[in-house]
Structure 1
Amino acid sequence: MKILAFNGSPRLNGNTATMLEYAISGARENGAEVELFNLYKMQFSGCISCFSCKRLDKERPIVCAVIDDLKPVLEKVSEIDGLLIATPVYYGCESAATRAFIERLCFPYLNYADYTTSHFPRRIPVGLIYTMNVPSELFEAMGYDVTLGRTRETLEREFGSCKMVLANNTMQYTDYSLYEANATGEEKKAYRDAHFSNDCQNARQLGEQLASGKVFNA
């Protein structure tokens, strides 16, 4: 059982990385081999719209033709059994590096002739971890369910069933007295103490489920 995991946060020890580590631990403890990539330590771009992956004279599946740090990683995707992607939410969607990665990951497998099928050779489960400052009670009011749900639907179309795990109202600073914020450090810490441990356990369970090799239930 091989899983590729991607940290889409520039913070290598922040909320996103922490939850991803819990997911990776859950997967490894259940027999999976997991390789981790920190996207902000890699040099790559998003899709450059060259349409090389859509040429009819190419044998599919096709890996993105752009040559950079991401290309050898994408070449491994056809051989894996699961994907883990973790990202903070910036301006209502994934981080810039995560969006660029998803473009490069998914577009070669998008079937332009028939959107109901994928060029990926089989179905594998995908785990999505989101961390965000927005409180849970504002998640739908701010449209996050739609924007993040769209990413989930994209990954499901190209690869297989996709499960999301969320952490809301996360702490961003160690000292809230030094920065702009819509809550005090005490309020944020109280929420974290009450919820973040459970969020991390949900991430661990996500990793355990990925390691089972089964697609998630709809």
Structure 2
Amino acid sequence: MKVIAVNGSPRKNWNTATLLQKALDGAASVGAQTEITHLYDLKYRGCISCFSCKRKGGALGRCAMQDDLTNVLDKISSCDLLLLGTPIYFSNITGMMLSFLERLLFSTMTYNLGDRSTFQGKLSSAFIYTMNVPSDLMEKLGYKALFNHYKSLLERLGGPSEILVSNDTYQFDDYSKYEASMFNEKHKAQVRAKQFPIDCQKAFEMGARLVESNIKALLNN
């Protein structure tokens, strides 16, 4: 069982990356092989509308662009579970994650009637979101529609997709160094100490559970 995590945050050791690693640890605890890719380490672009992935006799269903993302997409095409993580910037996923999803998903989207995807296989997935916004404000801002949108897109890869959200995250290691008076550092520290470990445990359990579900499905087939 192969599990690949893709970190859409520029930070490799902060909230998003930590939760992704916990999910990978959970997957590894039940025997999966795991790997993580940090998108901000790579040089690539989003979809350039060359339509090679739709051309008859061409690389149907596969992105034809050659760059640092090519090998990552090849690995994902043969893995069993895909774990994505991103902070929320300006009420959306990061630009690097969006460009990655363009390359991953548009190539498998078909324009033929009656079909949704040319993806060969059944790839389960989960999307981890981290944000400074508290959970109650997240509800008012309608973020669930955003999360469900990406969930629906990922389900075109043939498998179920889950969502995990970590709210009210700790942004700085020392709030006194930054112009950020709208935030209560004491409150942020309390959330970091009490809630974030719970979110980490949820990520661990999710990773283990999704791998176990995939193994069970394979055995039943």
TM-score above 0.5, yes or no: yes
Q: Which runs of 4+ in 1 moved over 3 A?
A: none
Equivalent-residue separation in structure 2 for 1:59 and 1:22 (angstroms): 36
8 Å CA contact 1:117–1:158 kept in 2: the answer is no
| Long gaps (5+) in structure 1 | none
Moved more, 186-195 or 114-123: 114-123
Residue by residue over 1:133-189, the C-alpha shift from the partner in whole angstroms, topping out at 9 and shown as x without a partner, is 010001121121111221111001234210011100001011212223321211100
Identity %: 42
8 Å CA contact 1:93–1:148 kept in 2: the answer is no
1:65 partnered with 2:64:
yes
Moved more, 7-16 or 75-84: 75-84
Equivalent-residue separation in structure 1 for 2:2 and 2:197 (angstroms): 27
Q: If each structure's helix is expressed as a fraction of its own residues, which one has the higher value?
A: 2
| Long gaps (5+) in structure 2 | 216-221
Q: Matches of residues 134-213 of structure 1 in structure 2 within 5 Å?
A: 134-181=133-180, 182-213=182-213
Equivalent-residue separation in structure 1 for 2:173 and 2:76 (angstroms): 37
Equivalent-residue separation in structure 1 for 2:158 and 2:99 (angstroms): 17
Counterpart amino acid of residue 98 in structure 1: M
- TM-score, normalised via structure 1 length: 0.93
Equivalent-residue separation in structure 2 for 1:174 and 1:59 (angstroms): 46
State the Cα RMSD in Å.
1.6
The alignment partner of 1:100 has SS state of: helix
Moved more, 36-45 or 71-80: 71-80
Q: Matches of residues 1-218 of structure 1 in structure 2 within 5 Å?
A: 1-58=1-58, 60=60, 62-114=61-113, 116-181=115-180, 182-214=182-214
The alignment partner of 1:134 has SS state of: coil
